[in-house]
Chains A and B, each alone.
Chain A
Amino acid sequence: MIQCKTSKEISGMGHSMKRKEDDRFIHGKGNYTDDVKLPGTLYMDIVRSPYAYAKIKNIDSSEALKIPGVLAVVTGKDLEQYNLHWMPTLMSDTQMVLPVDTVMYQAQEVAAVIATEKYIARDAREAVKVEYEVMKPVVDPFKSLDADAPILRTDKPDKKDNHIWHWEVGQKEETEKIFQEAEVTVKEQMHIPRIHVASIETCGCVASYDKVDNHLTMYMTTQAPHAIRTVFALVAGHVGLTEEKIRVISPDIGGGFGGKVPVYPGYVIAIAASFLIGKPVKWIEDRSENLQADSFARDYHITAELAGTKDGKILATRMKVLADHGYTDASANPSKFPTGMFSIGTGSYDYPNAFMEADAVYTNKPPGGVAYRCSFRVTEAVHAIERITDRFALEIGKDPAALRFQNFIKKEQFPYHSPTGWEYDSGDYEAGLKLAMKGVDYDNLRIEQAEKRKKGELMGIGLSTFTEIVGAGPSKDFDILGIKMFDSAEIRVHPTGKAIARFGTKSQGQGHETTYAQIIAEELGIPAKDIQIEEGDTDTAPYGLGTYASRSTPTAGAAAVMAARKLRDKAKKIAAYLLEVSEDDLEWEPGKFSVKGAPEKSKTIQEIIFASYTNHPQGMEAGFEATHYYDPPNLTFPSGAYICVVDIDSDTFEIKVRRFVAIDDAGHIINPMIAQGQVHGGLTQGIAPAMYEELIYDDDGNILNGTLMDYLVPTAVESPSWETGHTVTPSPHHPIGAKGIGESPTVGAPPAIANAIVDALKPYGITHLDIPITPYKIFKALKEKGVLDKNIVES
């Protein structure tokens, strides 16, 4: 049980305080980008390419322009005049805003219609006639490096192939030697397919340029408003939109998950249109546009290997990745990490050696990939790590839990230096797995499984013991387009003891309005309900890098603590002054300073705050305000132990998740209810790719499931009953010992489910299946093994 230091009234750390923001959301009074209604707003709709790879011969807007209410049809040639037809990506590649001569993926933006009403814009979009010359696209990433593959990036004059970059980390020669000499080696080829964040709210913006002030206000769905403002200033500064003339406002966001980090062409076209016309331009994409054109996630082809002894001591891991990035590298990673945090590669295990490498290629698909609730590719890494670990257990005939205990990094080994260069701050993997096994009654499950197998029933148990790496990040290693990844908090307390605190992060549902207030309440003793939290307006919030990769609590949360402690220091001085004692004679309890030995002589924080405006000591600055920009000394390393139990129908191969126990360790928890909510949501987004979601392209680059009819986002019907618990291993370097948690479940869940299904199929000799694992995939695999007919005959 979590011991709270503050009362329920103050509601500091550990209280399951109800979320302040839920009131407006439940009443349908959220303020989303589409709710922004400015007078004179024009509407934008986008004409999109039906082909994956084609030359544009002609764009005929004449019919569209005849429709009453249509003001303009913007094309690449129009933007070219202002040098706005291309823009930089977050990974220092370039991306088209609108094409001038070639389209590179199906659903790519080709032209934009601006009209007085939304439905006129939609009708006009249908009236724009585009003539294409279709070319054969490059769809298979393995084929993109063939000598005869067309070179896709003809806009890069020196480019002779479709290779983007090569990356590697670890000990190549030592690892090679270990693999040569090891008693046991295992190898599996895995594809983690493209999926899409599919947030309930799609992307959009209202770009409002004021010709009189030469000022742009951009309401947009963005997880990183300040960084975006700086990017816009860099791209459009040459036409007069310098940074002080741009205000980005990110209102309520209905789910981000990484999908609202990139700058999509729609945003830039809307700004350009508003700039030229001088009226607000609104663009909100519909669901199919969102699914088909926005940045995707994952699409890593991984060859994973382990080498070790036959009694289970693993000595090295090796991974080779082919990364399909679509037609440009528009992924969202810190600039020195093209594969994000994929290099967490040894996971929760103490492997002496590791070698990881990746090659990224261009294909005719939407650009990306975003970090979909994956901590910058940790989901990909953990999937490979946990799958190959189970594979090794299968190879040597050892129980997967036993193999993990044998290879875990031990509690005493922290801070732990991994062979891929990370310093893990803290963890207790054994405690986590033990708790999960207890929760699921592991030993009895294995007994039940053995008995079921005798009867030909398919039951599987899958483990996933993962280490996450979040909180980007320390300035010495981390930056996005050169901007360091600190974050900030600014706390201002009013004379009557109520406060407003602003942050450089941006919640898309994580509960910051509540959790940040709880952090400040813990440090200052001001009730959390008296602290108003604001994020997302670049004119008022301090500069920050936004919310993604579970970084808010590790960075901005820490900034809030440091700012609050600055205020507490000031409060102590004022209290000493008011009580006429020296600061050393004072002791603190949440909300009050009292004199040691004379507790009746005290001042509440409210009295102190009031005094800062009405009776502050001479020579001290009046007011009660502090700001802190926090540069984390290290990342934080949450972890988890997940166990999934599945039953598979031996005739239909329908997969039922019987139980899913998730034990998470994110250090000290701010609000247990919110943390649990994060885990529930993340687990659901974890079962999604494991069993249902995958973006499928045919050989012509057509997306075959670009609507929710065929792209299977799990509903309540598909979601199992999640059982959650936690262990607490605080972060030694974080001011309140907290780590991030938002992405742990999406990272840890898919391999737990995949491992369970593969375990269920063990009697048939199945060693691996790629996610999403469907009844059809199981049927196909068993048929290929030749075991299918046997089964039918026996039953």
Chain B
Amino acid sequence: MEATITKIFSLEAPIKEVWKRLSNPKEISGCVPGATITDQIDDNNYKGEVTLKFGPIKTKYDGEITIEEMDNDAHTMLLRGKGLDSKGKGNAEMTMNGSAVTTDEGTEVDFKMVVNIQGTLAQFGSRLINDVSAQLMDQFVDNFKKLLSGDEVDNSLKAGSMMGSVVKGLFKK
């Protein structure tokens, strides 16, 4: 089943600096909670892992990320990710469009992610996928800001972190 997540966020840094980091998969993966790049196949293809934990459900996806398009002048990118659940419980596909523009404050980044989940995790429907993806995005943004400001980024998965954030998020609404 498919879910679309969009995220727009502002950074107080010039677009050149933002884009330099945003277009580097190794730096970016360091900001996605539970993600690691395990191997670089070539300029545009990387192997990686993402571990997701939501309450009692923990899944690890082994997969590949491909940089389909990267325009360093127009500041747009298109990434594709494909992963297999390591226990054979399902698979996930992701297409991400990213772009950055200069604003008065600095830079505004726009992400649009289309995620397609198949298998047991899909039973939980968009309810779970949307919330988890949104949480991933939020934590990514926090980590990316830290990265820009030179702080330490710890993207290890905290136990129950996803669950806690999602539940808190529900109450905020």
Chain A residues close to B by CB (< 8 Å):
50-51, 106, 126, 128-132, 134, 698-700, 702-704, 706
> In the assembled complex, which residues on chain A have CB atoms less than 8 Å from the CB atom of B88?
50, 128-132
Which residue of B has the minimal Cβ distance to A131?
B88
Flag whether B1 is at the interface (Cβ < 8 A).
Answer: yes
Nearest-CB distance from B76 to chain A (Å)?
Answer: 31
Number of B residues near A (Cβ < 8 Å) is: 13
> In the assembled complex, which residues on chain B have CB atoms less than 8 Å from the CB atom of A698?
1, 122, 125
A703 touches B123 (CB 8 A): yes
Nearest-CB distance from A710 to chain B (Å)?
Answer: 9
B118 touches A704 (CB 8 A): no
A700 touches B122 (CB 8 A): yes
> In the assembled complex, which residues on chain A have CB atoms less than 8 Å from the CB atom of B89?
50
What are 14 A-to-B residue pairs whose CB atoms are below 8 Å?
A: A50-B88, A50-B90, A50-B119, A51-B118, A51-B119, A130-B88, A132-B88, A698-B122, A699-B1, A702-B1, A702-B123, A702-B125, A703-B123, A704-B123
Nearest-CB distance from A108 to chain B (Å)?
Answer: 12
Nearest-CB distance from B58 to chain A (Å)?
Answer: 11
> In the assembled complex, which residues on chain A have CB atoms less than 8 Å from the CB atom of B85?
50
B50-87 vs A, Cβ < 8 Å mask (1 yes, 0 no): 00000000000000000000000000000000000101
Nearest-CB distance from B130 to chain A (Å)?
Answer: 14
> In the assembled complex, which residues on chain B have CB atoms less than 8 Å from the CB atom of A706?
123
Q: How far is the CA of A132 from the CA of B122 in the complex (A)?
A: 16
Flag whether B120 is at the interface (Cβ < 8 A).
Answer: yes
- B residues 104-129 in Cβ contact with A at 8 Å: 118-120, 122-123, 125
> In the assembled complex, which residues on chain B have CB atoms less than 8 Å from the CB atom of A703?
123
Q: How far is the CA of A131 from the CA of B91 in the complex (A)?
A: 11
Which of A50, A131, A699 touches B120 (beta carbons < 8 Å)? A50
A interface, by DSSP: helix, strand, loop or mixed?
loop
Q: How far is the CA of A51 from the CA of B90 in the complex (A)?
A: 7
Q: How far is the CA of A698 from the CA of B89 in the complex (A)?
A: 17
> In the assembled complex, which residues on chain B have CB atoms less than 8 Å from the CB atom of A700?
1, 118, 122
Which residue of A has the minimal Cβ distance to B1?
A698
> In the assembled complex, which residues on chain B have CB atoms less than 8 Å from the CB atom of A704?
123, 125
Q: How far is the CA of A743 from the CA of B97 in the complex (A)?
A: 57
Q: How far is the CA of A128 from the CA of B89 in the complex (A)?
A: 11
B1 touches A134 (CB 8 A): no
Q: How far is the CA of A699 from the CA of B119 in the complex (A)?
A: 12
Q: How far is the CA of A704 from the CA of B123 in the complex (A)?
A: 5
Q: How far is the CA of A393 from the CA of B120 in the complex (A)?
A: 46
Q: How far is the CA of A703 from the CA of B1 in the complex (A)?
A: 11
> In the assembled complex, which residues on chain A have CB atoms less than 8 Å from the CB atom of B125?
698, 702, 704
Q: How far is the CA of A702 from the CA of B85 in the complex (A)?
A: 16
> In the assembled complex, which residues on chain B have CB atoms less than 8 Å from the CB atom of A132?
88
Q: How far is the CA of A699 from the CA of B90 in the complex (A)?
A: 16
Which residue of A has the minimal Cβ distance to B86?
A129
B interface, by DSSP: helix, strand, loop or mixed?
mixed
Which residue of B has the minimal Cβ distance to A60?
B88
A134 touches B91 (CB 8 A): yes
Nearest-CB distance from A84 to chain B (Å)?
Answer: 24
Which of A51, A126, A702 touches B87 (beta carbons < 8 Å)? A126
| Central interface residue in A132, A702, A704, by most chain B CB within 10 Å | A702
> In the assembled complex, which residues on chain B have CB atoms less than 8 Å from the CB atom of A129?
87-88
Which residue of A has the minimal Cβ distance to B125?
A704
Which residue of B has the minimal Cβ distance to A699?
B1
Which residue of B has the minimal Cβ distance to A126?
B87
> In the assembled complex, which residues on chain A have CB atoms less than 8 Å from the CB atom of B118?
50-51, 134, 700, 702
> In the assembled complex, which residues on chain A have CB atoms less than 8 Å from the CB atom of B119?
50-51, 702
Q: How far is the CA of A129 from the CA of B125 in the complex (A)?
A: 24
> In the assembled complex, which residues on chain A have CB atoms less than 8 Å from the CB atom of B87?
126, 129
Nearest-CB distance from A194 to chain B (Å)?
Answer: 15
Nearest-CB distance from A436 to chain B (Å)?
Answer: 41
Nearest-CB distance from B84 to chain A (Å)?
Answer: 8
Nearest-CB distance from B157 to chain A (Å)?
Answer: 19
13 A-B pairs besides A50-B88, A702-B118 with CB distance below 8 A are A50-B118, A50-B119, A51-B119, A106-B123, A126-B87, A134-B91, A134-B118, A698-B122, A700-B122, A702-B122, A702-B123, A702-B125, A704-B123
Nearest-CB distance from B52 to chain A (Å)?
Answer: 15
Which residue of A has the minimal Cβ distance to B122?
A702
> In the assembled complex, which residues on chain B have CB atoms less than 8 Å from the CB atom of A128?
88
Q: How far is the CA of A129 from the CA of B122 in the complex (A)?
A: 19
Nearest-CB distance from A124 to chain B (Å)?
Answer: 12
> In the assembled complex, which residues on chain B have CB atoms less than 8 Å from the CB atom of A131?
88
> In the assembled complex, which residues on chain B have CB atoms less than 8 Å from the CB atom of A702?
1, 118-119, 122-123, 125
Q: How far is the CA of A706 from the CA of B90 in the complex (A)?
A: 16
| Central interface residue in A50, A129, A131, by most chain B CB within 10 Å | A50
Which residue of B has the minimal Cβ distance to A288?
B123
Q: How far is the CA of A130 from the CA of B125 in the complex (A)?
A: 23
Nearest-CB distance from A62 to chain B (Å)?
Answer: 14
Nearest-CB distance from B66 to chain A (Å)?
Answer: 20
Which residue of B has the minimal Cβ distance to A709?
B124
Nearest-CB distance from B147 to chain A (Å)?
Answer: 35
> In the assembled complex, which residues on chain A have CB atoms less than 8 Å from the CB atom of B90?
50-51
Nearest-CB distance from A121 to chain B (Å)?
Answer: 16
| Central interface residue in A106, A130, A132, A134, by most chain B CB within 10 Å | A132
B36-49 vs A, Cβ < 8 Å mask (1 yes, 0 no): 00000000000000
Q: How far is the CA of A283 from the CA of B87 in the complex (A)?
A: 22
> In the assembled complex, which residues on chain B have CB atoms less than 8 Å from the CB atom of A50?
85, 88-90, 118-120
Nearest-CB distance from A508 to chain B (Å)?
Answer: 29
> In the assembled complex, which residues on chain B have CB atoms less than 8 Å from the CB atom of A126?
87
Nearest-CB distance from A704 to chain B (Å)?
Answer: 5
Which residue of A has the minimal Cβ distance to B91?
A134
Which residue of B has the minimal Cβ distance to A127?
B87
| Central interface residue in B1, B87, B91, by most chain A CB within 10 Å | B87
> In the assembled complex, which residues on chain A have CB atoms less than 8 Å from the CB atom of B91?
134
B1-17 vs A, Cβ < 8 Å mask (1 yes, 0 no): 10000000000000000
Q: How far is the CA of A93 from the CA of B122 in the complex (A)?
A: 31
Q: How far is the CA of A168 from the CA of B173 in the complex (A)?
A: 55
Which residue of B has the minimal Cβ distance to A702?
B122
Nearest-CB distance from A119 to chain B (Å)?
Answer: 15
Nearest-CB distance from B14 to chain A (Å)?
Answer: 44
| Central interface residue in B85, B90, B122, by most chain A CB within 10 Å | B122
Which residue of B has the minimal Cβ distance to A697?
B123
Q: How far is the CA of A780 from the CA of B89 in the complex (A)?
A: 35
Q: How far is the CA of A700 from the CA of B92 in the complex (A)?
A: 13
Nearest-CB distance from A102 to chain B (Å)?
Answer: 15
> In the assembled complex, which residues on chain B have CB atoms less than 8 Å from the CB atom of A106?
120, 123
Q: Which 3 A-B pairs have the closest CB atoms?
A: A50-B119, A50-B120, A130-B88
Q: How far is the CA of A742 from the CA of B102 in the complex (A)?
A: 73
| Central interface residue in B1, B89, B120, by most chain A CB within 10 Å | B120
Q: How far is the CA of A698 from the CA of B88 in the complex (A)?
A: 20
Which residue of B has the minimal Cβ distance to A48?
B120
Q: How far is the CA of A74 from the CA of B91 in the complex (A)?
A: 25
Nearest-CB distance from B117 to chain A (Å)?
Answer: 9
> In the assembled complex, which residues on chain A have CB atoms less than 8 Å from the CB atom of B123?
106, 702-704, 706
Q: How far is the CA of A132 from the CA of B85 in the complex (A)?
A: 11
> In the assembled complex, which residues on chain B have CB atoms less than 8 Å from the CB atom of A699?
1
Nearest-CB distance from B89 to chain A (Å)?
Answer: 5
Nearest-CB distance from A200 to chain B (Å)?
Answer: 23
Q: How far is the CA of A700 from the CA of B125 in the complex (A)?
A: 11
Nearest-CB distance from B167 to chain A (Å)?
Answer: 15
Nearest-CB distance from B62 to chain A (Å)?
Answer: 11
Q: How far is the CA of A132 from the CA of B119 in the complex (A)?
A: 10
Which residue of B has the minimal Cβ distance to A57?
B88
Nearest-CB distance from B86 to chain A (Å)?
Answer: 8
Nearest-CB distance from A531 to chain B (Å)?
Answer: 49
Which residue of B has the minimal Cβ distance to A698?
B1
Q: How far is the CA of A742 from the CA of B17 in the complex (A)?
A: 74
Q: How far is the CA of A132 from the CA of B118 in the complex (A)?
A: 12
Q: How far is the CA of A702 from the CA of B119 in the complex (A)?
A: 7
Nearest-CB distance from B108 to chain A (Å)?
Answer: 35
Which residue of A has the minimal Cβ distance to B120?
A50
Which residue of A has the minimal Cβ distance to B123?
A702
